[in-house]
Chains A and B, each alone.
Chain A
């Protein structure tokens, strides 16, 4: 009963509700601006939490995180630009739905899937922090290697029909990931004495370059670009639709939970993997890539789940599993709070307001989303020449915030050209993006494992988690490849039939 009154006090006796809603709105805005990731959005608000009550400050930051993870999907759907790294997978079907004039539906699905994912993540955080935190500890360097390989195995199903081209794209992505400072020895690689390259190439530059720049370039002068209907209304999915999305959302929840616990990815791996799993378990897998509702629901559920479950290793060990939780850690430290088991005993009010604040933000997300989205839809619905100019300027402004470097703008433009050529020559983008995202993790965990074992490759087979993940990757690759080959053959046969028919008629 005391707990109940504690919550009532938090909601009525403290400014928790306005704080949560402000955090949410700020997060959605930041997340929706391309290039401004969830962590940057949180870092920008961090100085303002300085003089706030610690409990409110932490709740605010958590709500910003929730908002930003959701906000990233808005430009992904509307202008083919992932607002944050973890919304890159949403681009695939979200933008496709938009092209079919169903942007309002896609936005509604992403909004509700975000709510589902956040609620699930929060429930896990509140109920299972203790047991789940020990799962995070089970991950040794070989396990991380296995996890990275599992992530890379998704490439097999994203080759767009040509295995060779998909692999080539993935290898180029991995090559981009090697630019910068070596994770083990600290020497520089492929930096050509350019200081800006010591940071490596930010994955978001690759995403923005390939998706957004390439799209703007191919739309240039095009006459058959589908114009959005002025009447596009943001529509929340019906109950029947939510029922149909249940499977993909469940997948998103599980993978999001998993990724939140394991330091490294920060949502993008979970988003891609759940997209992929959702396709595999879907009743209508053929719709994926051609405007599938499930293709929006799965990754959006996953990355919103991560926003809550990533707090589990943070609160229990003080170990941030992503850049965003790292900013939250900064917030805790700034207020003299040391994360770890003692935080729960010594500062329960901080934990309580974090939980309750997150809950308020998640519920408010529906209302705030319904208010903000029509404005966003109206904005992207301007005449095409102006829209192109505004989007181009928005992207170039946004990615400048990453490092305050014009060099990054150059990289994004260059990748736009690369993306255009890739499209021209029939190379898929997604393997390249996965390569860039995962390259660092795969390489450093591989080398770290071998240092531990003294060069003995058996180290990977002695780690049960690693073995399990590697087995899963193998099954996955075999399954995907047989399906891809089968589909390609079927498509070829159908085409030949059609040609024959046409000849016969002609």
Chain B
């Protein structure tokens, strides 16, 4: 029965997509009463390659948002340039609540390092949703059991570390860890987590530094092992994984996950989102999912979020200047 119901819907959708493409089609299936919203279709843009951390996050989120905001959510991957392309795309869109960018620290890094025409300053932070878990992992049959093993290897011969994206928080984490441990491994950047996973699995890299979500599937299958987390505290879901700081290297990171839009978002839009995000974080189904994925809920409302992002950006800029990465 269920099959047939969904088929009829899908069939109508395909054949009569003309009439229905606008959306709102499936909103009646949601249990809660979604808040009215000025846009029918909302595009959530991610710079991550499909299957990458930010991509998974935004696809998950979009699945539950429909319950609380009366709109159809579409995810679009604007890859490359470590977010520079995505920022340019969002900054050039109308500030009517139809386009948002799923932000991570990457967009701040890219703005500072490669000075693209459009930077994080050209976007308006909307609200924060999660803090994320950045981890060090290796393949299951590698000789490294702890982070110390990896560092020790890097002391005697050339270490090979992977970072999921060029000029990103992962890259910075690798650089900081390298400095804290006084070693000089090769740091290989990739174009997204999926790209790096192959090189970790086939042993090209000693370790990979990436987001927890991206390695879940391989962790489930027992193909990779997590050595440490860059979070300030141990992950509640993985209490046996030590933090990098506990391992003796004073490096810790908070990877924020939020949304940003073009400058000049109207108040009615930001208000809907402030409420919807709080509700969606309480959604029992979603909560179960994001706990599984080792995401930590960290809501920051619109009025405080700009200051939050600016503070992060200033600290990052200071760090980059100090290390001579930028002038």
B25 CB → nearest A CB, Å: 8
How far, in angstroms, from A233 to B85 measured CA to CA in the complex?
46
Of the candidate stretches A133-141, A148-156, A164-172, A427-435, the one touching chain B is A133-141
Report the bound CA distance from A187 to B82 in whole Å.
9
Distance of A48 Cα from B85 Cα, bound (Å): 27
Q: Are A52 and B9 interface neighbours, CB within 8 A? A: yes
Q: Which of B3, B63, B81 contacts A53 (CB 8 A)?
A: B3
Contacts A318-B218, A329-B51 hold; do A137 and B198 have CB atoms under 8 A apart? yes
Given known contacts A52-B9, A186-B113, A140 and B202 CB-to-CB distance under 8 angstroms: yes
CB–CB B3/A342 < 8 A? no
What's the least CB distance linking A16 to chain B, in Å? 9
Q: Which one, B70-78, B228-236, B259-267, is touching chain A?
A: B70-78
Nearest A residue (CB) for B166: A186
Does residue B14 face the partner (Cβ distance < 8 Å to A)?
yes
A195 and B2 CA atoms in complex are apart in Å by 46
The verdict on B17 contacting chain A, using a C-beta distance below 8 Å, is: yes
Collect the chain A residues with CB atoms within 8 Å of residue B188's CB. 141, 448, 451-452
Task: Give the residue name and chain of the B residue nearest to A26 (CB).
Answer: B14
Residue A200, interface by CB 8 Å: yes
In the complex, whether B323 has a CB less than 8 A from a CB of chain A is: no
- Chain B contacts of A285 at CB under 8 A? none
A48 CB contact (under 8 Å) in B14, B49, B220: B14
Cα separation A43 to B45 with both chains bound (whole Å): 13
A392 CB within 8 Å of chain B: no
Q: Tell me the count of chain B residues lying within 8 A, CB to CB, of chain A.
A: 69
- B-binding segment of A222-230, A333-341, A373-381: A333-341
Are the C-beta atoms of B56 and A333 separated by less than 8 Å? yes
Q: B1-24 CB contact bits vs A (8 Å, 1 = yes)? A: 011101101110111010000010
Interface readout for A258-290 with B: 1 if CB under 8 Å, 0 if not?
000001000000000000000000000000000
Question: Quick check: B75 and A199 within 8 Å, CB to CB?
Answer: no
Inter-chain CA distance A502–B201, complex, in Å, is 68
- Report yes or no: B63 in contact with A48, Cβ–Cβ below 8 A: no
Do A198 and B88 form a contact, CB below 8 Å, given A48-B13, A326-B77?
yes
Most-contacted residue by chain B among A13, A193, A319, A453 (CB, 10 A): A319
The answer to whether A231 has its CB under 8 Å from any CB of chain B is: no
The answer to the question of B60 belonging to the interface, with a C-beta cut-off of 8 Å to chain A, is yes
Q: Quick check: is B282 within 8 A (CB to CB) of the other chain?
A: no
Say yes or no for A477: interface residue by CB 8 A criterion. no
Q: Inside 8 A of B77's CB, which chain A residues have their CB?
A: 326
Residue interface mask B32-65, A partner, CB < 8 A = 1:
0000000000000000011100011001100100
* Most chain B beta carbons < 10 A, residue from A193, A317, A342: A317
B92 within 8 A of A: yes
**A364: CB under 8 A from chain B?**
no
How many A residues touch B, CB cutoff 8 Å? 65
Q: Which residues of A contact B302 (CB under 8 A)?
A: none
Residues of A near B199 (CB, < 8 A) are 140-141
Measured in the bound complex, the distance between the Cα atoms of B15 and A194 in whole Å is: 39
Pick from B3, B51, B75, B221 the residue with the most CB of A within 10 Å: B51
The CA-CA distance from A45 to B13 in the complex, in Å, is: 9
Q: With A48-B13, A318-B218 known to touch, is A333 a contact of B59 (CB < 8 Å)?
A: yes
- The residues of A that contact B189 with a CB separation of less than 8 Å are 184-186, 448
In the complex, the answer to whether B82 meets A15 with C-beta atoms within 8 Å is no
Are B195 and A340 in contact, CB atoms less than 8 angstroms apart? no
Give bound CA distance, A191 to B118, whole Å: 12
Chain A residue nearest to B194 (CB atoms) is A319
Q: Tell me, rounded to whole Å, the shortest Cβ–Cβ distance linking A289 to chain B.
A: 35
Complex CA gap A333/B89 in Å reads 25
A195 to B194, CA, bound (A): 26
Q: Is A302's CB within 8 Å of the partner chain B?
A: no
**Residues on B with beta carbons closer than 8 Å to the beta carbon of A50:** 26, 63
Pick from A53, A191, A193, A323: contact of B2, CB below 8 A.
Answer: A53
B206 to A: closest C-beta gap in Å: 11
CA A203 to CA B165, docked complex, whole Å: 23
Query: Quick one: given A60-B10, A186-B114, A452-B160, are A195 and B197 in contact (CB under 8 Å)?
Result: no
| B138 interface hit (Cβ, 8 Å) | no
Residues of B within 8 A of A453 (CB): 186
Closest to B10 in A: A52
The reply to whether B10 and A136 form a contact with Cβ atoms under 8 Å apart is no
A336 touches B167 (CB 8 A): no
Instruction: Say whether B155 faces chain A, with CB atoms less than 8 Å apart.
Output: no
B95 close to chain A: CB less than 8 A: no
- B residues whose Cβ falls under 8 Å from a Cβ of A: 2-4, 6-7, 9-11, 13-15, 17, 23, 26, 29, 49-51, 55-56, 59-60, 63, 72, 74-78, 80-82, 84-85, 88-89, 91-92, 110, 113-114, 116-118, 158, 160, 165-167, 186-191, 194-195, 197-199, 201-202, 204, 216-218, 220-221, 289
A residues whose Cβ falls under 8 Å from a Cβ of B: 13-15, 18-19, 22, 26, 43, 45, 47-53, 56, 60, 136-141, 180-188, 191, 193-195, 198-200, 263, 317-320, 323, 326-327, 329-330, 333-334, 336, 338-342, 403, 444, 448, 451-454
User: What 17 additional pairs, Cβ within 8 angstroms, besides A199-B78, A326-B51, A327-B50?
Assistant: A22-B15, A53-B6, A140-B204, A180-B80, A183-B191, A185-B167, A186-B110, A317-B197, A318-B197, A329-B50, A330-B75, A333-B51, A333-B59, A340-B218, A448-B189, A454-B158, A454-B186
